[in-house]
Structure 1
Amino acid sequence: MRRFRIGLTARVLAVLVVLGVAVFPLYWMIVTALTSNADLFGAEAQLLPDFSEFGVFIDALAEGKATGWLLNSLLIALGTTILSVGLGIPLGYALSRFSFRGKAVMTLVLLFTQMLPEALMVVPLFSLFRRFELLDSLTGLVLVNSAFVLPIVALILKGAIDGIPRELEEAARVDGARPFKVLTRVNVPLIAPSIAATAVISFFHAWNEYVFAVTFIFTPDKQPASVGIANFIGELGTPIQTIMAVAFMFTLPAVAFYLFAQKYVVAGMTAGAVKG
């Protein structure tokens, strides 16, 4: 019993330490945002927020720019998630269940695309987007983010479908189900945890993306929050409290989305790694 209590105490302390490390950046953003200039640059660090300075959040939202940036980020992230997962499901199913010439090469190509840095693709993509009039467009960002995240989504879902017994699909075909119906009625419900995991990956990739956003978007009103926050940094002055307030609001939706889907993430990533 004593060993059990010691082990339980150690696990609880470990969880609290990890939780503290994860939550501390959010707490420090709040403290910094709610600290006056006199205290912010004072000799002693302020460890507690001063809620009398809460007006910085109201001012950031009242100006309208931060609200627009957050909305643009949300539209880009949701669009990327829907498009990449929507295309990744049939692609993963095809790689898992169908045999065709070049299948192994295609799988390797999808894997190798994850080794390409975004900065390497900026110039050719800029030329391509200019030709198709996708510059300064949220649609263009959705397309390019989906193209970068789609391979990993497809590979994860392929691994998840590999773990589904073929007998289930054969039974559905015996009942007269066509391939699309087999995919939607049999496979999709069984790989729901993996779909949730890939949705989280897609959402975070698009939500935090900066290189393409700062290169392809010119109009300030169309910029996502990842670019808008950087614009606060000025040559003569930088409003640190405003930056931290907007950064905190920028972080919350991503954290909320992860907390909503986190129970599926571990199971989904594990299922997608069983077979390759």
Structure 2
Amino acid sequence: MPSERSGRHSEERAQPPAEQARNRARPEPTSRLRIGLTLRIVAVLAVMGIAIFPLYWMFVTALSSDADLFASDARLLPDFSQFGVFVDALAEGETVRWLRNSLVIATGTTALSIVLGIPLGYALSRFSFRGKALMTVVLLLTQMLPEALMVVPLFSLFNRFELLDSLVGLILANAAFVLPIAALILKGAIDGIPRELEEAGRVDGARPFTMLTRINVPLIAPSIAAAAVIAFFHAWNEYVFAVTFIYSPEMQPASVGIASFIGEVGTPVQTVMAVAFMFTLPAVGFYLFAQKYVVAGMTAGAVKG
């Protein structure tokens, strides 16, 4: 041991003074890891703050009095003495009905898009037929069409089949716009599944539908979750079709109901923000529940296995 210490000290003495100073100033590996971890935590907290701030500001605005709302200095903390605005918004019954209609529309659109998107994506991935490439391009081009462009023809079509002023009509209209992107996401995921798995199932006598439900669907579950999130958010936030095809106040979703607060003389800002806050929470909760599947689902078809 003394010989080792003397050898180490002799090596330090043999180094130039500048080199010795750099070695002493150089941080240890554990210090670099701590600094990197701290920076990552700070970056994550900053991103979370930016993402959560609009929701927090809606909550603060809903709990602000008229004097605080129009004051020169903005109020940064909520005034919980004004919490009655939430109670009043729920007590009237309209907000609950709007949220229920939005939930029915979003759930129906998501279910219909996934149920139809899985076999469509499987057919585009596994079967060869004439016009397959053209069909894929057409599905992609449908995402370039704005909803406002389709309002008039859809209105005429729904009027003929008595689908106006109906939640079923809104579900069909929203699903028609979400289905192409859901099918393309699922097609990419199925492309990444080795065909040998299906060949083994075919040897055992499995039919295409059985292979789809027993082999492919469990493997593309993350992509199904990603497509479900996209479909849910589209239907939950949709406004153009809802305000055009729905006449009855009791059938309106929350996206249309919130806009009805805007009047010619005045707008109850606190009530609008309170209802908007409650309208945003279910969508945020659904995304937080499914977010761990979203990234995996969106990248599942990037590399073929």
Normalising by the smaller structure, the TM-score range is over 0.9
Aligned positions of 1:155-194 closer than 5 A: 155-194=184-223
**How far did residue 78 of structure 1 move?**
0.1
Match of 1:29 in 2: 58
| Residues 149-185 of structure 1, C-alpha deviations (whole Å, 9 max, x = no match) | 0000000000000000011011111112111111000
Task: Indicate the RMSD between aligned Cα atoms, in angstroms.
Answer: 0.9
Structure 2 residues not aligned, in runs of 5+: 1-29
Larger radius of gyration: 2
Residue of structure 2 aligned with 1:257, choices 272, 286, 291: 286
Structure 1 residues not aligned, in runs of 5+: none
Aligned positions of 1:103-118 closer than 5 A: 103-118=132-147
Aligned positions of 1:174-253 closer than 5 A: 174-253=203-282
**How far did residue 274 of structure 1 move?**
3.8
Residue 160 of structure 1 contacts residue 274 of structure 1 at CA under 8 Å; is this kept in 2? no
**How far did residue 273 of structure 1 move?**
3.8
| Residues 110-135 of structure 1, C-alpha deviations (whole Å, 9 max, x = no match) | 00000001111111111111111111
Question: Aligned to 2:64, what secondary structure does the other structure show?
Answer: coil
Match of 1:102 in 2: 131
Structure 1 position 76 matched with structure 2 position 105 = yes
**How far did residue 233 of structure 1 move?**
0.5
**How far did residue 8 of structure 1 move?**
1.3
TM-score by length of 1: 0.98
Residue 33 of structure 1 contacts residue 241 of structure 1 at CA under 8 Å; is this kept in 2? yes
Q: Distance in 2 between matches of 1:260 and 1:4?
A: 31
Question: Aligned to 2:299, what secondary structure does the other structure show?
Answer: helix
| Residues 178-217 of structure 1, C-alpha deviations (whole Å, 9 max, x = no match) | 1111100000000000000000000000000011111111
Match of 2:178 in 1: 149
Q: 1:136 to 1:274 in 2, by over 3 A?
A: farther
Alignment-mate amino acid for residue 176 of structure 2: A
Task: After the TM superposition, list the runs of 4 or more consecutive aligned residues in structure 1 that deviate by more than 6 angstroms.
Answer: none
Question: Aligned to 2:153, what secondary structure does the other structure show?
Answer: helix
Q: 1:159 to 1:172 in 2, by over 3 A?
A: same
Q: Distance in 2 between matches of 1:273 and 1:28?
A: 38
Q: How many positions carry a matched residue from both structures?
A: 275
Residue 197 of structure 2 contacts residue 215 of structure 2 at CA under 8 Å; is this kept in 1? yes
TM-score by length of 2: 0.89
Q: Distance in 2 between matches of 1:168 and 1:5?
A: 45
Q: Distance in 1 between matches of 2:302 and 2:163?
A: 36
Residue 208 of structure 1 contacts residue 226 of structure 1 at CA under 8 Å; is this kept in 2? yes
Q: Distance in 1 between matches of 2:269 and 2:126?
A: 53
Match of 2:149 in 1: 120
Residue 192 of structure 2 contacts residue 302 of structure 2 at CA under 8 Å; is this kept in 1? no
